[in-house]
Chains A and B, each alone.
Chain A
């Protein structure tokens, strides 16, 4: 029997093996995770809701299956947690917003259905920026989330809880969503692996929508193999999502260990030229050198339009969001506030009380960008720039298999540092928005600690459409070579 501390240090893959060999039970693993949440989450703030009894019941069921030799697969009995914008039937789902406070959905998101059909034990819902709008989790309407590497710093956002919970050893795998970097950036800040699949690889049914042509659910894990195992279960066509691809799902484990030899890695030099903090750039360059050492070939690629990515993103995403958030009107669910002036007053008072500043800002921006007289100049133009961006990548992928670069310009910044300057916050996404705009898969894999700050740095890998397998393979090659990161030190108490 492993001690709880050692148990929680296991990767998802290692735990799964142990569960299969019945060296540990799902109930033990679940209790350990719940205890860890109890002991640490007051300081981390990764969880908005914990569904302990439900989790225990599911853990027991998993153990019963294991006893019969009828495990459902690698995820059976593994304690996971999901970002609070995945709808979970019977469990409160807020999307980090007061406008959904107390909302208990009557249905499960497709990815939740798949995880639970695979036997996973969902222990709770994770903290996030409100409606996935943010890069630091500071826009959560309920409480901030803190980086387990340094509790005075952000874990990133908007899937802050999804990354922090992993780093804090509160769960063995998590799901987040990524619209402009919301999986990759927190993964980089918290030293874990985060993957944004190709748009259409994973169903968006049951995911509270932010920007419909950019959102994609994806896995976070402490290792590449963990992320691959989660992706394997959630990927695939869902007839309820007409933007989910019919393309068959690859076996993500098949070539995972194939190594970097033979891969051509494209490097957009402009990305490292300026705007990236020196310590971050150093770790990224070292990772590139490692790839060369491992037998990969490096080539320079030009992505001339990526510098316009933020501008395009901050027109398209708010525009779609302004429409997606119109349903939060107090009529059928969620918060309702009476206002002066009957129905219209009710709408305005409800949305004023229910939405935080960032959703309001983006709704305003998006409404403007779509409004009569401005549509062509803003929204339409941004969608054309999107095409130009996509073409940049298509050209680059004629010469390489993956593109590598930084995830973020800096390591995790301090809480409160950027909240008063929205534009400064938006510019955090400069390297990550390109993937969402071009509809490409991207991941963040840790590539060491910042020499001075001692905080995690992430390497971003971007792939061809539906080529998550190559991304995972390349990430695994780096991970195998450099070894694991040390555990974050900020949380002393171990459950």
Chain B
């Protein structure tokens, strides 16, 4: 039976690094990079005698994420030790949460094929990250251990096995990532590993209700790799089943070079982590005051904002989704709209700018709104110039690009670069005369009934005027001259 007779069921575990200044259990900096072991101290090195000291902001950020995702935030949650031996785990255990995590339930909204759905979450918990093992650092083949990342705070967000296609999985990750970035708790960087995803993948024949045996897939640090990995894994599992075998529960690493998953050497025999409550940390008590404080500062979330743009501003779903993908872009748009004020179709026009030329320039330069030379006020001002007919479509695009790249006020840029639209009737007439003079055949066909040729004339006049003709004036002049 071909693969299409099977369906895939996925649950995703996302490890999101929380954007705190210091680590979860000590005051070392969480800054990326740095010389090996430059951001370490006795605590995160796991020296004898050290104890964890819990960073308050980690808890706030976890509560923030939990509230935004509609979870139940637990008033009491318990830290646990997950025991295993590995060089990047200095204490020989990871401090995490096990039986009583900080959040339970909740969901992530996704839109696939125009349909809205909420993917259920099982839980969110806090834990510390491990360090890094680096291969081949020494001539004798030894590996190096760098504990700069050890102790960086993570939120682990576990979804239910509620995703039934790779597209859904990717939408889920995009949505979750956008929410976390909106909240300011995570920077969404897959390549640097601050937003990591492991996938639990199983297959079952279509129509079956029971879940198949799942495998955990790790090491997919881009959406493209995720797609490759899951496609491979689905094929692999189907082959096993078709051949009469049983899928083994295992942890598999994605190998980007080969596009395959392969079984990992297990970190801990029989996966016996011997979890027990962490005696060095009292149970975490989260009171109403903290929850209300965090709730008060929650921003409008991407999904809600997109809905509002459609409802209140009349934007299309597509436009709304593009605008709200990143909080800083949406906020820029909001500010531009506010600066633009009441005006015809303001939202639509500004949205077109944002999703068109501005997005293009942003992608090209790799710059974030915070550092753009283009400001919301300038964008609004540019659109006002267009509204007033001072500059035409093409001229405005050129003006925008200039302002984006080099700064300056739109009105001045238009003037300085001679981008202004020409509305002067005399000038338009001169150009029209020139065009009509050399297009006698077309004039005759036009007057003979082929009205579609107006487009041709307009185009020619524009060309004559180097694109600066005011289209309305050009049209009016031509109509007059052609005798309509």
Which of A212, A242, A375 has the most C-beta atoms of chain B within 10 angstroms of its own C-beta? A242
Q: How far apart sit A121 and B49, CA to CA, in the bound complex (Å)?
A: 22
Residue of B nearest to A343 (CB): B87
Contact partner, B276, options A93, A319, A326, A343, Cβ 8 Å:
A319
Q: Are A331 and B145 in contact (CB under 8 A)?
A: yes
Question: In the complex where A243-B279, A370-B83 touch, is A205 in contact with B49 (Cβ < 8 A)?
Answer: yes
* A204 on the B face (CB < 8 A): yes
Q: Are A372 and B279 in contact (CB under 8 A)?
A: no
**Minimal beta-carbon separation of A28 from chain B (angstroms):** 33
Q: How far apart sit A279 and B81, CA to CA, in the bound complex (Å)?
A: 46
* B48 on the A face (CB < 8 A): yes
Residue of A nearest to B280 (CB): A212
A:163-217 near B, CB below 8 Å: 204-209, 212-213
Q: Are A100 and B48 in contact (CB under 8 A)?
A: yes
Q: How far apart sit A85 and B276, CA to CA, in the bound complex (Å)?
A: 25
Q: Are A213 and B91 in contact (CB under 8 A)?
A: no
Q: How far apart sit A107 and B43, CA to CA, in the bound complex (Å)?
A: 11
Q: Are B48 and A87 in contact (CB under 8 A)?
A: yes
* A361 on the B face (CB < 8 A): no
Q: How far apart sit A103 and B50, CA to CA, in the bound complex (Å)?
A: 15
Q: Are B49 and A326 in contact (CB under 8 A)?
A: no
Question: In the complex where A212-B279, A242-B282, A347-B85 touch, is A105 in contact with B47 (Cβ < 8 A)?
Answer: yes
Q: Are B274 and A367 in contact (CB under 8 A)?
A: yes
Q: Which residues of chain A have C-beta atoms less than 8 A from B90's C-beta?
A: 327, 331-332
Q: Are B54 and A242 in contact (CB under 8 A)?
A: yes
Q: How far apart sit A100 and B50, CA to CA, in the bound complex (Å)?
A: 15
B257-284 interface code vs A (CB 8 A; 1 in, 0 out): 0000000000000101011100111100
Question: In the complex where A212-B279, A370-B83 touch, is A332 in contact with B46 (Cβ < 8 A)?
Answer: yes
A64-93 interface code vs B (CB 8 A; 1 in, 0 out): 000000000000000000000111000001
**Minimal beta-carbon separation of A106 from chain B (angstroms):** 6
Q: How far apart sit A319 and B277, CA to CA, in the bound complex (Å)?
A: 11
Q: Are B53 and A379 in contact (CB under 8 A)?
A: no
Contact partner, A87, options B49, B81, B83, B280, Cβ 8 Å:
B49
Q: Which residues of chain B have C-beta atoms less than 8 A from A240's C-beta?
A: 43, 51, 53
Q: How far apart sit A372 and B84, CA to CA, in the bound complex (Å)?
A: 13
* B314 on the A face (CB < 8 A): no
Q: Which residues of chain A have C-beta atoms less than 8 A from B54's C-beta?
A: 242
Q: How far apart sit A326 and B94, CA to CA, in the bound complex (Å)?
A: 11
Q: Is the interface of B mostly helix, strand, loop or mixed?
A: loop
Q: Which residues of chain B have C-beta atoms less than 8 A from A242's C-beta?
A: 51-54, 280-282
Question: In the complex where A243-B282, A327-B91, A371-B274 touch, is A332 in contact with B45 (Cβ < 8 A)?
Answer: yes
* B42 on the A face (CB < 8 A): yes
Q: Are B279 and A204 in contact (CB under 8 A)?
A: no
Question: In the complex where A212-B279, A379-B276 touch, is A323 in contact with B83 (Cβ < 8 A)?
Answer: yes
**Minimal beta-carbon separation of B88 from chain A (angstroms):** 9
Q: Are B145 and A372 in contact (CB under 8 A)?
A: no
Q: Which residues of chain B have C-beta atoms less than 8 A from A93's C-beta?
A: 48
Which of B45, B145, B279 has the most C-beta atoms of chain A within 10 angstroms of its own C-beta? B279
* B93 on the A face (CB < 8 A): yes
Contact partner, A241, options B51, B81, B276, Cβ 8 Å:
B51
Question: In the complex where A93-B48, A106-B42, A332-B46 touch, is A239 in contact with B83 (Cβ < 8 A)?
Answer: no
Q: Which residues of chain B have C-beta atoms less than 8 A from A105's C-beta?
A: 42, 47-49
B:70-100 near A, CB below 8 Å: 81, 83, 85, 87, 90-93
Q: Which residues of chain B have C-beta atoms less than 8 A from A107's C-beta?
A: 42, 47
B:34-48 near A, CB below 8 Å: 42-43, 45-48
Q: Are B270 and A326 in contact (CB under 8 A)?
A: no
Q: Which residues of chain A have C-beta atoms less than 8 A from B50's C-beta?
A: 205-206
Q: Which residues of chain A have C-beta atoms less than 8 A from B93's C-beta?
A: 323, 326
Q: Which residues of chain B have C-beta atoms less than 8 A from A443's C-beta?
A: none
Q: Are A213 and B274 in contact (CB under 8 A)?
A: no
Q: Are A208 and B83 in contact (CB under 8 A)?
A: no
Q: Which residues of chain A have C-beta atoms less than 8 A from B87's C-beta?
A: 329, 331, 343
Question: In the complex where A107-B42, A242-B281 touch, is A329 in contact with B52 (Cβ < 8 A)?
Answer: no
A:298-347 near B, CB below 8 Å: 319-320, 322-323, 325-327, 329, 331-333, 343, 347
Q: Which residues of chain B have C-beta atoms less than 8 A from A331's C-beta?
A: 87, 90, 145
A338-382 interface code vs B (CB 8 A; 1 in, 0 out): 000001000100000000000000000001001110010001000
Q: Is the interface of A mostly helix, strand, loop or mixed?
A: loop
Q: Are A372 and B270 in contact (CB under 8 A)?
A: yes
Question: In the complex where A242-B51, A371-B272, A371-B274 touch, is A327 in contact with B46 (Cβ < 8 A)?
Answer: yes
**Minimal beta-carbon separation of B281 from chain A (angstroms):** 5
Q: How far apart sit A329 and B274, CA to CA, in the bound complex (Å)?
A: 18
Which of A93, A213, A332 has the most C-beta atoms of chain B within 10 angstroms of its own C-beta? A332
* A126 on the B face (CB < 8 A): no
Q: How far apart sit A379 and B274, CA to CA, in the bound complex (Å)?
A: 11
Q: How far apart sit A323 and B42, CA to CA, in the bound complex (Å)?
A: 18
Q: How far apart sit A367 and B280, CA to CA, in the bound complex (Å)?
A: 18
Q: How far apart sit A352 and B199, CA to CA, in the bound complex (Å)?
A: 38
* A55 on the B face (CB < 8 A): no
**Minimal beta-carbon separation of B92 from chain A (angstroms):** 2
Q: Which residues of chain A have C-beta atoms less than 8 A from B282's C-beta?
A: 242-243
Question: In the complex where A106-B42, A370-B274, A371-B272 touch, is A204 in contact with B81 (Cβ < 8 A)?
Answer: no
**Minimal beta-carbon separation of B82 from chain A (angstroms):** 10
* A95 on the B face (CB < 8 A): yes
Q: How far apart sit A353 and B37, CA to CA, in the bound complex (Å)?
A: 28
Q: Which residues of chain B have C-beta atoms less than 8 A from A209's C-beta?
A: 48-49
Residue of A nearest to B48 (CB): A208
Q: Which residues of chain B have C-beta atoms less than 8 A from A343's C-beta?
A: 87
Which of B49, B50, B279, B281 has the most C-beta atoms of chain A within 10 angstroms of its own C-beta? B49
Q: Which residues of chain A have C-beta atoms less than 8 A from B51's C-beta?
A: 204-205, 240-243
* A230 on the B face (CB < 8 A): no
Question: In the complex where A205-B51, A327-B92 touch, is A370 in contact with B276 (Cβ < 8 A)?
Answer: yes
Q: Which residues of chain A have C-beta atoms less than 8 A from B279's C-beta?
A: 212-213, 243, 320
Q: How far apart sit A325 and B48, CA to CA, in the bound complex (Å)?
A: 9
Q: Which residues of chain B have C-beta atoms less than 8 A from A85's C-beta?
A: 49
* A109 on the B face (CB < 8 A): yes
Q: How far apart sit A239 and B276, CA to CA, in the bound complex (Å)?
A: 24
Q: Which residues of chain B have C-beta atoms less than 8 A from A379's C-beta?
A: 276
Q: Are B81 and A323 in contact (CB under 8 A)?
A: yes
Question: In the complex where A242-B280, A367-B274, A370-B276 touch, is A208 in contact with B52 (Cβ < 8 A)?
Answer: no
Residue of A nearest to B79 (CB): A242
**Minimal beta-carbon separation of B322 from chain A (angstroms):** 46
Q: Are B280 and A243 in contact (CB under 8 A)?
A: yes
Q: How far apart sit A424 and B482, CA to CA, in the bound complex (Å)?
A: 117
Q: Which residues of chain A have C-beta atoms less than 8 A from B85's C-beta?
A: 326, 329, 347
Residue of A nearest to B93 (CB): A323
Q: How far apart sit A85 and B48, CA to CA, in the bound complex (Å)?
A: 9
**Minimal beta-carbon separation of B151 from chain A (angstroms):** 14
Q: Which residues of chain B have C-beta atoms less than 8 A from A323's C-beta?
A: 81, 83, 92-93, 274, 276
Q: How far apart sit A149 and B280, CA to CA, in the bound complex (Å)?
A: 38
**Minimal beta-carbon separation of B71 from chain A (angstroms):** 25
Residue of B nearest to A103 (CB): B48
Q: Which 6 residue pairs spanning A and B have beta carbons closest together?
A: A326-B92, A212-B279, A370-B274, A213-B279, A206-B49, A208-B48
B interface residues with partner A (beta carbon < 8 Å): 42-43, 45-54, 81, 83, 85, 87, 90-93, 145, 270, 272, 274-276, 279-282
Pull 12 A–B residue pairs with CB atoms less than 8 Å apart, ordered by A. Answer: A85-B49, A87-B47, A87-B49, A105-B47, A109-B49, A241-B53, A243-B282, A323-B81, A323-B83, A329-B92, A333-B48, A372-B274
A interface residues with partner B (beta carbon < 8 Å): 85-87, 93, 95, 100, 103, 105-107, 109, 204-209, 212-213, 239-243, 319-320, 322-323, 325-327, 329, 331-333, 343, 347, 367, 370-372, 375, 379
15 more A-B contacts (CB under 8 A) besides A240-B51, A329-B92, A347-B85?
A: A105-B42, A107-B47, A207-B49, A240-B53, A242-B281, A243-B279, A243-B282, A319-B276, A320-B276, A320-B279, A323-B81, A332-B90, A343-B87, A372-B270, A375-B274
